[in-house]
Amino acid sequence: MTGQTVKFYQIGSRAVGNRLLPAEWRTEQSNPDRRNALNSGHRACQGCGEALAARYVLDAAVRATKGRLVAVNATGCLEVFSTPYPESSWQVPWLHSLFANAASVATGVAAALKMTGRDEIRVLAQGGDGGTVDIGLACLSGMFERNDDVLYVCYDNEAYMNTGVQRSGATPPAARTATTEAVGARPGNPFGTGKDMARIAMAHEIPYVATATVAELHDLEAKVERAMSLRGARYLHVLVPCPLGWGSAPADTIRLARLAQRCGLFPLLEAEHGEVTAVLPIRDPVPVEEYLKPQKRYAHLFGDHPRADVLSALQALADRNIARYRLLAEEP
Amino acid sequence: MRSQMEGSRAIAETVARCRPQVVPAYPITPQTHIVEAVGAMVKDGSLGGCEFITVESEFAAMSAAIGASAAGARTYTATASQGLLYMAEALFNASGLGLPIVMTVANRAIGAPINIWNDHSDAMSQRDCGWVQLYAEDNQAAIGLHVIAFRLAEHLSTPVMVCVDGFVLTHAFEPVELPDRAAIDAYLPPFAPRQLLSPDEPVTIGAMVGPEAFTEVRYLAHHQLMQAVDGFDVLAAEYEAATGHHHRAVSGYHVDGARTVIVALGSVAGTIKDAVDELDGGTGVVTLSLYRPFPADQVRRLVAGADHVIVVERAFAPGAGGVVSADVRGALAGLPARVSTVVAGLGGRAVTKASIQHMLADAHAGRLADLSFLDLRTDVVQRELATPRSR
């Protein structure tokens, strides 16, 4: 039997196998005693990126706060699939109010904890991309601007999935949604639209902004840990593939999240007080086609009438990210 | 000791003595003086243990209030008019979650056309949002209703709106007596929430409820809100014992033997009582401090002997007519009394004694329609109605 070379980067990323790491470096998800903040039994779809990311984020936040954590949730898939009365998957105190107001509700919770002498309890607000970049943006901007002591986490699946895959301000160009159908001369979501929420957050010069994907577990947990080590307004934007909305195989959720980062369309960064402090370099770049092709929401770009023009426009967006954040530069 | 002060100042001082712990605030005329004063008291330290949050909208104000109340803080805010409508979604949410938030509404008209002056269109548009609604007749009542509101809210675990006529009361200087701090502290113990967001005992608040239980949730919410009908008077009696100030859910004025009874809410009641005093008698007045839940039995008892009930309303339901009148008609079902709706004082138009007396003269002469608008400039509307419109 021939020996096998152990590669430190087993899967071409920082998702180092936990078995190769000393115990204190392992992910919280490898801890059998983790909180399981979003417990099993909920009703998310197979392969739901948001359900995975929410558990990863909250378990890491529970660890970082030694269990002194309160979660606030916007209306959306995460709220619906986790709390069908009288059941609840939440193993942390959890409050859902409305679609647009999670950031403001969290502001109120943080103020109340402070005024009742319990400010060792930390507040985490969470919502989808619609609840964050669209309907909830005013409340979120207010929370940022006042530097309220809240970590806001956006689970970005790039459309309104809960209502049946309609376009949001986070839907990428060319993607098919139920309100940007793959028909006509310019199929899918128009180019030149959408919001770069991480940069909007950075413009508020809040203590901490980071982007992450559900594929990079170590990176995601480290960012939650960093966020919870700070006070004031913090923002974490996590890319979470949605098999239903993206038309992808449930088993491909992690692979697609990783490809989004490797092709440059979803850059991973950290910023403090408005300045980028770190990026996750792309170790093994891929063309955008490799990320787009497994997703039916981009099927109109391939097939019988391939749209090289659209693909090159999408590649240009990825290249712009790579240049802006120097994602192909060597690590120090 | 009575002292001369602006209504908004009196409300702010009263609220401060109720020791709120979180006050999210957003400015809107004519409510601004209240939160300005509260903010100053927090900043200079005279209102300690309170976080004053300058939020970016009324929607955010009510949302932050929801979070603060759910996390166990006594929570207060104030708004008016468009601001109340802007927080409408959150109002229903606060009551649905059973959060004892107290809010002043400095009543003001709703646009278009935009109008900053007083009427009750704002609060009446939200009468079904599940909050207790109290209406102040004068600034002494505004003071008392706010203290009772905190007690009632926390007693029932339900939010309470204290409606105070914008400008007419908020900007009026009147001699008022603020209850002393010790009396309020004795009357209003620290907030002990029924349910609390805490890692020590994790709860899920705001779950999704389907058809199998939603009706029951709503039934129980109605049942809970109805407790305020009697609950208000019990707590108002305690307040009276502590401070000497008398407030009741429904009050009658010269109603015994009255053939005509006027029903009203808010500051217009004082004018109506003055107008009635100058007449020969035979007309009584019923004022409602409590409008939601509607104290139907009390209203029925007080007006049962009247032939004619005139509801003077500072709001109306376009396409239908009176708002309060519908509740009064329901309360009087089966009685022979005729009920007329008089819409008065819209968008800040003054309601004068002379107009009220003129209205009564019309009523006694059998000329008062089922629905009429007090002091309507008929020449203006007739001219407009006669103008041909191009389509």
Cα atoms in the Cβ-side hemisphere of radius 13 Å centred on B211: 0
One digit per residue, the tens of pLDDT, for chain B of length 391 reads 899 999 999 999 999 999 999 999 999 999 999 999 999 999 999 999 999 999 999 999 999 999 999 999 999 999 999 999 999 999 999 999 999 999 999 999 999 999 999 999 999 999 999 999 999 999 999 999 999 999 999 999 999 999 999 999 999 999 999 999 999 999 999 999 988 999 999 999 999 999 999 999 999 999 999 999 999 999 999 999 999 999 999 999 999 999 999 999 999 999 999 999 999 889 999 999 999 999 999 999 999 999 999 999 999 999 999 999 999 999 999 999 999 999 999 999 999 999 999 999 999 999 999 999 999 999 999 999 999 875 5
CB contact under 8 A, A107 and B97: no
Cα atoms in the Cβ-side hemisphere of radius 13 Å centred on B297: 3
Å between B109 CA and nearest CA of chain A: 26
Q: Which of A63, A68, A95 to mutate to probe the B interface, most B CBs <10 Å?
A: A95
H helix runs in chain B, sequence order: 7-17, 32-43, 58-70, 81-86, 88-96, 121-125, 139-156, 181-187, 214-243, 268-277, 296-303, 324-331, 353-364, 378-386
Domain CATH code at residue A234: 3.40.50.970
For residues B57 and B55, what is the distance between their CA atoms, to the nearest angstrom?
6
CB contact under 8 A, B64 and A72: no
Q: Which two tokens stand for residue B51?
A: 């976080």
**A8 in a structural domain:** no
For residues A27 and A2, what is the distance between their CA atoms, to the nearest angstrom?
31
Which helix (H) or strand (E) element contains residue B343?
strand B338-343
Question: Could you tell me the pLDDT band of residue A14, with boundaries at 50, 70 and 90?
Answer: low
β-partners of residue A154 are A127, A237
Q: Which of residues 347-386 of B touch A (CB under 8 A)?
A: none
For residues B250 and B276, what is the distance between their CA atoms, to the nearest angstrom?
18
**A291 in a structural domain:** yes
Question: Could you tell me the pLDDT band of residue A167, with boundaries at 50, 70 and 90?
Answer: very high
Residues 6+ apart with CB under 8 A from B274: B353
Q: Is the pLDDT of residue A47 over 80?
A: yes
Task: Measure CB to CB from residue A108 to each of B24, B89, B204 and give the nearest one.
Answer: B24
Task: Give residue-wise pLDDT tens across range A61-84.
Answer: 999 999 999 999 999 999 999 999
**A221 in a structural domain:** yes
CB contact under 8 A, B199 and A67: yes
Closest of A293, A283, A289, A285 to residue A330, by C-alpha: A283
For residues B157 and B98, what is the distance between their CA atoms, to the nearest angstrom?
5
CB A285 within 8 A of CB A258: no
Question: Could you tell me the pLDDT band of residue A12, with boundaries at 50, 70 and 90?
Answer: very low
For the residues of B189-200, what is the DSSP string, one character each?
Answer: PPP--SS---TT
Task: Give residue-wise pLDDT tens across range A251-302.
Answer: 999 999 999 999 999 999 999 999 999 999 998 999 999 999 999 999 999 9
Q: Is the pLDDT of residue A16 over 70?
A: no
The two beta strands, A151-156 and A94-96, are unpaired
Task: Measure CB to CB from residue B67 to each of A112, A118, A146 and give the nearest one.
Answer: A112
**A7 in a structural domain:** no
**A317 in a structural domain:** yes
Q: Is the pLDDT of residue A151 over 80?
A: yes
pLDDT for the residue numbered B1: 87
**A72 in a structural domain:** yes
Length of chain B: 391
Residue A275 has a CB neighbour count (10 Å cut-off) of 10
CB contact under 8 A, B63 and A79: no
Å between B68 CA and nearest CA of chain A: 4
CB A104 within 8 A of CB B22: no
**A330 in a structural domain:** no
Sheet holding B371-373, edge to edge: B250-253, B283-288, B260-265, B308-313, B338-343, B371-373
CB B203 within 8 A of CB A83: no
pLDDT for the residue numbered B390: 58
Cα atoms in the Cβ-side hemisphere of radius 13 Å centred on A134: 20
Å between A290 CA and nearest CA of chain B: 39
pLDDT for the residue numbered B326: 97
Find the domain containing A125 and state its range: 27-325
pLDDT for the residue numbered A274: 98
| Global pTM value | 0.96
pLDDT for the residue numbered A24: 82
Using a 10 angstrom Cβ sphere, with 0-12 exposed, 13-18 middle and 19 or more buried, the burial of residue B109 is: buried
Q: Which residue has the tokens 């609950």?
A: B231
Which helix (H) or strand (E) element contains residue B165?
strand B160-165
Instruction: Please tell me which residue of chain B has the smallest CA distance to A106.
Output: B67
For the residues of B75-86, what is the DSSP string, one character each?
Answer: BEEEE-HHHHHH
**Domains of chain B by start residue, with CATH:** 2-243 (3.40.50.970), 251-381 (3.40.50.920)
The two beta strands, A234-239 and A208-213, are parallel
Q: What angle do CA A128, A131, A137 make, to 5 degrees?
A: 125
β-partners of residue A95 are A72, B205
Q: How many domains does chain A have?
A: 1
For residues B6 and B289, what is the distance between their CA atoms, to the nearest angstrom?
21
Closest of A213, A265, A211, A267 to residue A236, by C-alpha: A211
Is B57 part of the contact surface with chain A (CB cutoff 8 Å)?
A: yes
CB B110 within 8 A of CB B81: yes
- Chain B neighbors of A95, CB-CB under 8 A: 67, 70, 197, 205-206
From residue B112, give the alpha-carbon distance in Å to each of B80, B115, B122: 15, 8, 13
- Chain A neighbors of B72, CB-CB under 8 A: 112, 116
Chains A and B form CB pairs within 8 A to the count of: 167
Task: Give residue-wise pLDDT tens across range B173-206.
Answer: 999 999 999 999 999 999 999 889 999 999 999 9
The residue type of A287 is: P
For residues B314 and B345, what is the distance between their CA atoms, to the nearest angstrom?
6
Residues 6+ apart with CB under 8 A from B338: B307, B308, B309
Q: Which two tokens stand for residue B310?
A: 């005139």
Q: Is B326 helix (H, G, I), strand (E, B) or coil?
A: helix
CB contact under 8 A, B75 and A112: yes
pLDDT for the residue numbered A298: 98
Closest of B313, B300, B323 to residue B252, by C-alpha: B300
pLDDT for the residue numbered A259: 98
- Chain B neighbors of A139, CB-CB under 8 A: 56-57, 59-60, 63
**A178 in a structural domain:** yes
From residue A65, give the alpha-carbon distance in Å to each of A31, A70, A124, A127, A231: 16, 10, 11, 20, 12
For the CA atoms of chain A, what is the radius of gyration?
A: 19
